[in-house]
Amino acid sequence: MRSRFTAFAVGDSDYLLRSWHPRTRPESLDLDESMRWYRLDIESASKGSLFDSDGEVTFTAFYRVKGSGAGTLQEHSRFERLDGRWVYVDGVVKD
């Protein structure tokens, strides 16, 4: 989760696509260059240990948009282990 947040923060769309599960991954990803991600708070995590094949993370990510101010994104994300590495499956954005 933290590595994907960092990829959003530095605009690394290639890493985001590589770390996305193939069955849910989009063909391409266009990041908004005016959006700056600056903080990640992990609210909860379940499973996801060395012996698990899946896990879930609930987080709040903080961002600023040039000319528009600040905001947050709250999501409950699901991950799966694929070929020995964790990949993002999907998430539900919380209002």
**For the whole model, what pTM was predicted?**
0.91
pLDDT, tens digit, for every residue of 23-73? Answer: 999 999 999 999 999 999 999 999 999 899 999 999 999 999 988 999 999
Q: Which domains does the chain have, with CATH numbers?
A: 2-26+35-94 (3.10.450.50)
What are the φ/ψ torsions at residue 2 (nearest 5 degrees)?
Answer: -65, -35
CA-CA distance, 79 to 28, in Å (whole number)? 20
Which string of b and e fits 35-56 if b means at least 16 CB within 10 Å? eebeebeeeeeeebeeeeeebb
CA-CA distance, 17 to 14, in Å (whole number)? 5
Cβ neighbourhood burial of 69 (10 Å; 0-12, 13-18, 19+):
exposed
